[in-house]
Structure 1
Amino acid sequence: MIKPGIPKGTRDFGPVVVRKRNYIFQTIRNTFEVFGFQPLETPAMENLSTLTGKYGEEGDKLIFRILDNGEIFDRAMQAKDNRELTSLISEKALRYDLTIPFARYVVMSQHELALPFKRYQMQPVWRGDRPAKGRYREFYQCDADVVGSNSLLNEVELLLIYDTVFTKLGMQGYELRINNRKILAALSELVGKPELLTDITISIDKLDKIGIEGVQKELQTRGLTADDIIIIENFLNIKGDNQSVLAQLRELFATSATGQKGIEELDFVLHSGYTTYNTTPILDLTLARGLNYYTGLIVEVKAPATVQMGSIGGGGRYDDLTGLFGLSGISGVGISFGVDRIYDVLEELKLFPETAQQSTRVLFLNLGETSARASFNYLMQLRKKGIAAELFHENAKMDKQMKYADKRSIPFVVILGESELQENMVSVKDLSSGKQEKMSAAELLEFGF
């Protein structure tokens, strides 16, 4: 006999969890829609060549490759090394995120799209990460992206989407942290090693995990000198409110056109005058996000400090992304929600409303065929009014049916016994208060379930 199980880093979701997740999905989806974004879906698998080389060295290691069907073993025997082995037996992979597939879609559909194209996408992605709290190998992302526009208003609107969603979810104390890739590029120029931009950002991105000493050691292994590391450390030590940090950056990068451009973009996003954020974004120079394709704004959402959780969202500007697939000159910017982590945060903080956990509102007791037929008529009328209702599946003892209602957290039961049938009435019992009252069919249909 095979013992049932599921792969590490994956989960089953029961009805209660699915309803809560759907509450999150619907909140995000509704916000995307009112901001004018259009839905898109792409395949679960992509060509391996589409994905590799787009997420940096660390990201490439986490891509789930799919073995090709057919003569796998014959082809494997022909391989000279591991790299050739991979190419011979795997040409496809599960998508790592939704951004690269979106860029691929834009390139393939460029002649049909009206630019700027604003899309949202809500689908699962897969990463061969080490499973831990808030870290799964299969998880959902909810992305919103705009391509075909250089306007910084897009950045403002995407930050407002974060602001709107987390406000609706009641998540007080979350942090919306931002930086700009141009600032990091200017830093690499300042140390005289612009070719090491990626190495520097990957190291800085690990600051909260390995600390400043760990970052120093990693920078040394990546070819930075002691003097270079001092410059980088001084940069990371810039502190203060947003205005103060911007002022210090203007002084540090006074002669850097790249740095001044990044400062200008951050200043617009923070102080454009178009809007006021419910939660003001925080300028965080330690924010690097070690993905190769970001070129402007980078953003990360942190859970409230009372919850031990990492990032629950992130994104940025990626002007050159479609150029990876041969279509240059298409600017893009996007954000992503980490739904699985958001769920864990809402659960820990007890922020799910009761309405997100409710299913059936009314259970009609089955008291015999005559009662069941009459109940079914009322049942369908309530369903037409959008009220979730069901009839117990068999004529069982009253105690069994009431226990079913209690286990399902159904708040009301309707009883059509002999007296109710004779009087053309129904009895409604509120299981939370124990109160029971008789009413007519018309009153039943208007009852506040």
Structure 2
Amino acid sequence: YDLTVPFARYVVQHRDEIQLPFKRYQIQPVWRADRPQKGRYREFYQCDADVVGSDSLLNEVELMQIVDTVFTRFGVRVAIKINNRKILTGIAETIGEADKIVDITVAIDKLDKIGIDAVNEELRRDGISDEAIQKLQPIIALTGTNDEKLATIANLLEQSEVGMKGVEETRFILDTLKTCGLHNQIDLDLTLARGLNYYTGAIFEVKALDYAIGSITGGGRYDNLTGIFGLPGISGVGISFGADRIYDVLGGLDLYPKEAAQGTELLFINFGATETAYCLPVLRRCREAGIRTEIYPDSVKMKKQMAYANAKQVSFVVLAGEEEIAQGKLTLKNMATGEQTLVTPEELIRAVKA
């Protein structure tokens, strides 16, 4: 119940109509069979961006720029983690357990959650030899800069053709991103495996640095996903933002823009039928100017209307009685400062938008 598999089906179904490379974004609810808990939802929103029909690694670079842009605009500091399934395959070959690649990747992908001892125990339960597990330890524990880690892993995988291919792809992505002026850090993480077995090349995961939660974005390269629908050989790469987890991060760090949580900017006080008739054309102009505006529907005591404005954290209130109507003006009250100003409709719109 994700968005990538139905996207692959769509590409196959419309292969004679779409222009390759084909790019799309898609936002909708998906479901997971997990036991719900904090940060893990049974139903949640994914926001996906994919490119199919191109093998170019520039697509990976552009997707990482999208990730960087999104979280920079949110004001959330993140670490963008990158690895490559070919590197993981090369590691499995090098330690003599090529046929156990899925077991190895599933186990080491849990390193952050369960720790190295539990990962090693899981590897043993999956039938991986103690000798192979021992060879895996320095790879899992690699530290240093991205370039230093790449150099070390290249030495370790020099006898693995597929492993070296993964190193080359990763080096291209990292070197190209150096020229792109990213605002967030990008880390080569050789323990990153991603649970989905259809990834074949680069894999990505994004973690918030200032809030404890699981990955908030993930994705990677899949070379033959459309093959399950009878169209082999079409490569794709995509990322998926976990909207609900991102909301958790924004809420936890108090980063929601005030205007996102605030419905009404401007409230017209209702003094009766005559005053309402005077205000309604001005209200329409305010809405046309992009100001979120409402009028209190009932002519009740002003105290009740002002309490409503305070409860909704309305920024400005408009009062128009006999005196204002006689002058063709309105009184604009700034609810934060309490300041009241007599203004024309044009001045009112300028003041609120400012």
TM-score (norm 2): 0.96
Partner of residue 197 from structure 1, selected from 95, 98, 101: 101
SS in structure 1 opposite 2:352?
coil
Partner of residue 314 from structure 1, selected from 212, 218, 232: 218
1:138 and 2:43 matched: yes
SS in structure 1 opposite 2:167?
helix
1:423 and 2:353 matched: no
- Cα deviation for residue 425 of structure 1 reads 2.0
1:275 and 2:161 matched: no
Distance of 1:117 and 1:446 partners within structure 2: 44
- Cα deviation for residue 308 of structure 1 reads 1.4
Distance of 1:439 and 1:262 partners within structure 2: 66
Partner of residue 109 from structure 1, selected from 11, 14, 23: 14
Equivalence map 1:36-115=2 (5 Å):
96-115=1-20
Partner of residue 27 from structure 2, selected from 122, 125, 137: 122
Q: Which amino acid aligns with 2:342?
A: K
Q: Which amino acid aligns with 1:122?
A: I
SS in structure 2 opposite 1:311?
coil
SS in structure 2 opposite 1:121?
strand
Equivalence map 1:43-442=2 (5 Å):
96-172=1-77, 174-272=78-176, 274-304=179-209, 306-442=210-346
Q: Which amino acid aligns with 2:100?
A: L
Say whether the 8 Å CA contact 1:383–1:389 is kept in structure 2. Answer: yes
Distance of 2:281 and 2:63 partners within structure 1: 48
Q: Which amino acid aligns with 2:262?
A: Q
Aligned-residue RMSD, C-alpha: 1.3
- Highest RCO, 1 vs 2 (Cα 8 Å, sep ≥ 6): 2
Say whether the 8 Å CA contact 1:198–1:290 is kept in structure 2. Answer: no
Say whether the 8 Å CA contact 1:199–1:219 is kept in structure 2. Answer: yes
Distance of 1:182 and 1:139 partners within structure 2: 30
Distance of 1:102 and 1:444 partners within structure 2: 48
Q: Which amino acid aligns with 1:313?
A: T
Distance of 1:368 and 1:214 partners within structure 2: 71
Distance of 2:343 and 2:192 partners within structure 1: 62
> How has the CA–CA distance of structure 1 residues 277 and 442 changed in structure 2, closer, same or farther, with 3 Å as cutoff?
closer
SS in structure 1 opposite 2:264?
coil
For residues 250-280 of structure 1, the C-alpha deviation after alignment (integer angstroms, 9 at most, x for no partner) is: 1101111111100000100011365232223
Say whether the 8 Å CA contact 2:267–2:316 is kept in structure 1. Answer: yes
Distance of 1:115 and 1:391 partners within structure 2: 51
Distance of 2:10 and 2:117 partners within structure 1: 42
Identity of aligned residues (%): 52
> How has the CA–CA distance of structure 1 residues 371 and 206 changed in structure 2, closer, same or farther, with 3 Å as cutoff?
same
Distance of 1:241 and 1:130 partners within structure 2: 37
For residues 185-209 of structure 1, the C-alpha deviation after alignment (integer angstroms, 9 at most, x for no partner) is: 0111123232211111111111111
- Cα deviation for residue 353 of structure 1 reads 2.2
Q: Which amino acid aligns with 1:280?
A: Q
TM-score (norm 1): 0.76
Say whether the 8 Å CA contact 1:323–1:329 is kept in structure 2. Answer: yes
Q: Which amino acid aligns with 2:238?
A: G
SS in structure 1 opposite 2:26?
strand
SS in structure 2 opposite 1:131?
coil
> How has the CA–CA distance of structure 1 residues 181 and 291 changed in structure 2, closer, same or farther, with 3 Å as cutoff?
same
- Cα deviation for residue 234 of structure 1 reads 2.5
How many pairs are equivalent? 352
Say whether the 8 Å CA contact 1:131–1:137 is kept in structure 2. Answer: yes
- Cα deviation for residue 447 of structure 1 reads 2.9
Q: Which amino acid aligns with 1:301?
A: V
Say whether the 8 Å CA contact 2:262–2:312 is kept in structure 1. Answer: no
Say whether the 8 Å CA contact 2:206–2:215 is kept in structure 1. Answer: yes
Say whether the 8 Å CA contact 2:217–2:240 is kept in structure 1. Answer: yes
The runs of at least 4 aligned residues of structure 1 exceeding 4 Å deviation read: none
Q: Which amino acid aligns with 1:205?
A: D
| Aligned position for 1:63 | none
SS in structure 2 opposite 1:281?
strand
Distance of 2:225 and 2:345 partners within structure 1: 62
Distance of 1:278 and 1:355 partners within structure 2: 25
Q: Which amino acid aligns with 1:368?
A: G
Distance of 1:201 and 1:243 partners within structure 2: 23
Say whether the 8 Å CA contact 1:186–1:259 is kept in structure 2. Answer: yes
- Cα deviation for residue 233 of structure 1 reads 1.9
Say whether the 8 Å CA contact 1:146–1:333 is kept in structure 2. Answer: yes
Distance of 1:442 and 1:199 partners within structure 2: 68
SS in structure 2 opposite 1:110?
coil
The unaligned stretches of length 5 or more in structure 1 are 1-95
